[in-house]
Structure 1
């Protein structure tokens, strides 16, 4: 049977298969290498061959890497990613609903929104940082001298950094919503209105269940894009760092596999979020099919 299948394959199958295999190796090989090297023994180094197998470097990571508070950076990234995910979902869905109707200036608004995708990330970060520094100057000019001592800066995790991340995640969410509503059949909403449903009831019981898997996908995009963002965060976060920025700084100071252990932990978190999102999307899809039956 396998021989018959092999005879049916075109002459270009194996060259293309080899190219695809090399592509997958190029994409995921470095991640797999870091994962393997993070489980070395106490005598392990930054390169192969592996010296023993243990969780030693994960224990070292839990103890801390010098003066860097990895735990605090991890929680900051987790909190920022969660807020970005929530805002990306809400704003993308609302924008998708709004763009279903013709609105004045809609084309200009759309192009302004997606323009940040083609702007260099570091330029966006510098621009946002400059805006908030100008805001600081204005606030300090208005505050009395007694309050200036307690005022630091408007730059921060939930201000400038949040805005910088949303310039990256919102265009993706908006494009996904456009694709979803482009294929959406308005007859379902019309049927709900004919049965006496209010606009909110129509959205909650008809529209939202139908677009639910896509909404979950937008949330996954929002979190994962925020979780590992460096360039847009670098100049816009102020005096604290997210986990990717700390990881970038540690690459020049930490010379043990602890840095690989940190990379493994961040990768596991990313895959966990993607797994939860995929599982939730599949559950919503099955629930939708059962409801249709």
Structure 2
């Protein structure tokens, strides 16, 4: 018996369908005019509000950063200027009295024969120089400069003990019975047979040299070299020795310059002494009786 139900031709279903296939097959697709780009680009009201808040926050941060970049250099420059003013008021030295035979008021309590203020601004130690002529000369100097100038000075500053007695009658005005320096003045006593040359060396290491050293005579150069060797101040006179060597080494074989034998080591010119030694050996003789 034949069936009365009409046959329906079925369309085979695709094994995998995409969202586009579903939309294309939908009968309402043309009526709803489904816009996929609209779905992708149109944010929800909540999302739009969040993005607006975020955008406002970003703009606020940008404005704040811009203000900071404008104000910071001004504040930094003001702080730098103030710091420079404070530093200048602390570190800027006053008028330097490099060599003074009449001490300023602050040094009047030192009643020695001569007072030389080598470093007025930061003089924190007094060198009491006892010469062969029994004069006592006070040198106001910087301890740090002496410390850096030579190993001999460092040893003296570390190991030096007060060797001179103090008058104990009045503790308020206790002074050294030898040089009259107050006990609390951090004085250091040195014995030196040539205070005049020692003064010139102190001026050199404190960067306050005597301009006369540029044209110093050979006798002064010899005395400087002897003191440099004693206190190991070779590095301090390096710029000067080139001037002196250029001026006097060319006369090494002339009469009156034989003392190059004494100072050749200090100025590192031993190789130039060989010819001088040969000449002296030829001209000098010993007579035996």
Instruction: Tell whether the structures are fold-level matches, with TM greater than 0.5.
Output: no
Q: Could you tell me the TM-score, scaled by structure 2's length?
A: 0.21
Give 1 or 2 for the bigger CA radius of gyration: 2
Which structure has greater helix proportion? Answer: 1
More relative contact order in 1 or in 2 (CA 8 Å, sep 6+)? 1
Which structure has greater strand proportion? Answer: 2
